[in-house]
Chains A and B, each alone.
Chain A
Amino acid sequence: MHTPIHSQPGDIDPGPWLLRLEHVSKRFGGVQALDDIAFNVRPGEVLCLAGENGCGKSTLIKTVSGVHAPEPGAVMQWDGQDMLGIDPARARELGIQVIWQDLALFPEMSVAENIAFERNLGRRPRLVKTAAMRAQAAEILDSLGVNIDLDARVASLSIANRQLVAIARALIANARLVFMDEPTASLSRHETEALIDIVRRLSAQGIAVVFVSHRLAEVLDICSRVTVLRDGCYVGTYSTEGMTQSRLTELMTGRQFDYRTRPAPTGDGEPRLSVRGLTRQGEYRDIDLDIRPGEIVGLTGRLGAGRTELALSLFGMRRPERGQILLDGRPLRMTSNRDAIRAGIAYVSEDRLSLGLVQQQAIADNIAITVLGRLLNRAGLLSPRRQTGLVADWIRRLKVKVGSPQDPVSSLSGGNQQRIVLAKWLATEPRLLILDSPTVGVDVGARAGIFEIVAELAAQGMAILLISDETPEVYFNADRVLHMRDGRLVESFIPAHTELERIEEAVHA
């Protein structure tokens, strides 16, 4: 059992804190974004700030960096001195730096210019000393132990290198506390490890780093303590020593989850989907794939491995050049996704915002769009009564939390939007359901709900292809996991017989 190592303010010696916050609250209109938060950082420590989307992490960071002022009654100290009432410029002077996920660099300017920008900030206009600027930038990059061309345009750099430029920019301003918002979200495993090395280096130099990340394994690996927020409230601060991912998830969501793999597949029965030698130049090659009714097959691999391209071919939207797709033994020739839908294939897009749903339009219409043919009355006109019935039925079956079915889909949370996507495709009564990164932008708690539905569909006999670049997601939710690399299926794993680490190593190697 973990007990918060710091839950009662005042029971610890305030001396060693670099940053000390007590009783910090923030209201926006009727919304209590932060409610009596405590947040303390020691010099040179690596601390994680964890919580689901909307739990108040960003508001807290903005309060510390002087963007928002807390409600009266808050205690905010920096080095033991009161720091209430600071503005962003003063926060910078104190040494507080925030690296947001979008990095906020100038893509058209050089690496040296971007790094030196912070130095020139707020000064009176004067001539830029190019040589001095380059020397400073080079020095900072050296101290990080990295080698990036100072004259390269930032737009031409990889995401990982841009991240380093942003860190260098923070350091040149004599940062003592750096917030990093989801710094590893778009990095490969190798790049992540390099970044973690850098973070350790900063820590050794006495610079404190607050890490905001959804990747719990990473958090537990790199941070010494973790502060958890939930719904704007302070849950506690815990040592990462002995902390597990499932326990941390529980703290973040307030619920318990079952982390177990699915039982090993029995392996009998005719395949629902058979793919033989499917090839499309530049996207994927020689794909052989079988999915049986009731089976969930996971497909993972790095970005650009060709997963989505393969899915779109199975959905009739990208014609393969060679090979065969068979559904229940019958070869499919598809010229558009309408052929695929008619054959019983449904595709949940990875891009819910612009491809999965018509965000501005009503929830009811987004559910009905795939089955308009079934809503016609005898005169051949759409029947509002049938639509209302269909929509109410699916909202009930998938337990979607909606105000009115007439509200625009955009008014729903990510998890509920994804349920609407599932509803619109389940309404077509598919025999094969392709889920492409179904939990993008969905909170940890809501993810479990989505996968409960998926498991139930499989139990009813649906064949499911689950695509995700989060290896644990396919590991815990699929019967078999296929690893795609550079357009080929290279390996197959059975989670029940394999360690998660083994698959992660294979994917990220």
Chain B
Amino acid sequence: MSPSVISRLMNPAGSKSPAAGELAGMGIVLGVLVVSFSLLSDRFLTGATFDSIAFQLPELGLLALAMLIPLLSGGLNLAITFSANFSALVMAWVVGWLGGPEAGMSGILLGMLAALLSGALIGWALGAIVAYTGAHPILASLAMMIFLRGLGEFLTRGGSVSGFPDALVGLGQGTWLGIPVPLLVFAACAALWALILNRTRLGFSIYMLGSNTEATRYSGISTRRALTLVYVLSGVMCAVAGIIMTSRFNSVRVGHGEAYLLITVLACFLGRVDPFGGFGRVAPVVMALIILQVISSGLNLLGTNQHLATALWGGILIAVMVVRYLWGRLRDRRRRRR
């Protein structure tokens, strides 16, 4: 597979490119899942299922987008959930300072802006450490994660912050034209990510430096700047996730969504992101997220334990790796025979 700017763009539906084949394959898996669940339970194909997926997908999805770009750059961001909640805390303080539950629309917007700025700042600090000191992203983001967790717990005394205006809660729980608002936010963010990755110089540079940072630097790309921006983008996306989580739960707690961290990595790899960086696209990752969410909701409907769904998620990734390996071998053998 050689996804590049051209194939990513000139050939979005490209029936013959392997990337499109992969997407089609995931579509088939999704179809099989939907059909089996609806055969097993007549409550599956209902609005309620759609609603539950539509409200749960965005949280995990936004965090997966925050994980995607560092992965493409050959790194990792372990601080995503705490960046999200810390940024949400910043929003909570600004909103609280501007009137708490009585805060007006301007108060809410200011709060969101503060959250986005906080996310960007956290990302910038992390990115600068990775880009300028050459620290390994796993270590740098691990340190950032522990720092944010400790600071957050200290400032909230381990509790949660609540008391938000109804308008903010409406963002997390409301619908627009019948579609849940969080889902719209997620769709917009995914589209924005695809645009940045496919059509901007920064996106181009992220793919290149993800494969070979030094060769990219020798080509005249400011790799330090690009690498810093990778984590700034990641931090901003964390803040968006933090805002959505806050509005859904009507409260902020530092430990919200902690379990999502490694699931986002799983979703990215399932969505064919190269663990060594340089290759991966937004659309298959979104598809992988949908598949994971359908499995979780379907099993939930069948009355099985939630932990079974988690086990199944891991099992699927293992199965996918084995199938990809066998598929690759088969293709090689066919090519050699030709």
Contacts and interface: CB of A to CB of B under 8 A. Distances in A.
B93 interface: no
B212 A372 contact: no
A381 B215 contact: no
Given A359-B212, A387-B6, A381 B218 contact: no
Contact of A364 (B4, B212, B220): B4
Given A365-B204, A372-B201, A382-B201, A406 B6 contact: yes
A369 B216 contact: yes
Interface in A305-363: 317, 336-338, 341, 347, 349, 354-362
B48 to A, nearest CB: 40
B6 A29 contact: no
B173 interface: no
B215 A384 contact: no
Contact of A384 (B10, B195, B217): B10
Interface in B214-256: 214-222
A338 B207 CA distance: 19
A369 B208 contact: yes
B232 to A, nearest CB: 19
A388 B10 contact: yes
Interface residues of A, number: 38
Contacts of A405: 6
Interface in B193-221: 195, 198-201, 204-205, 207-208, 211-212, 214-221
B156 to A, nearest CB: 41
A364 B4 CA distance: 8
A169 interface: no
A407 interface: yes
A136 interface: no
Size category of the binding interface on chain B: 20 to 34
Contacts of A53: none
A381 B207 contact: no
Contacts of B218: 317, 337, 347, 349, 355-356
Contact of A354 (B205, B214, B337): B214
B7 interface: yes
A360 B201 contact: no
Interface in A172-186: none
Contacts of A365: 4-6, 204, 207-208
Chain A CB within 10 Å, residue with most, of B10, B207, B208, B222: B208
B336 A29 contact: yes
B324 interface: no
B199 A354 contact: no
Contact of B204 (A347, A354, A382, A408): A382
Given A337-B220, A370-B219, A360 B204 contact: no
A381 to B, nearest CB: 4
B139 interface: no
Nearest to B198: A382
A384 B211 contact: no
Contacts of B219: 358, 369-370, 424
Nearest to B17: A406
15 contacts: A30-B338, A347-B218, A356-B215, A357-B215, A358-B208, A358-B216, A361-B4, A362-B7, A365-B208, A368-B204, A381-B199, A384-B9, A387-B5, A387-B6, A388-B6
Given A362-B4, A369-B208, A372-B205, 5 more contacts: A354-B212, A359-B212, A359-B215, A361-B278, A369-B219
Q: Which 6 A-B pairs have the closest CB atoms?
A: A362-B4, A381-B199, A384-B9, A341-B220, A372-B201, A360-B211
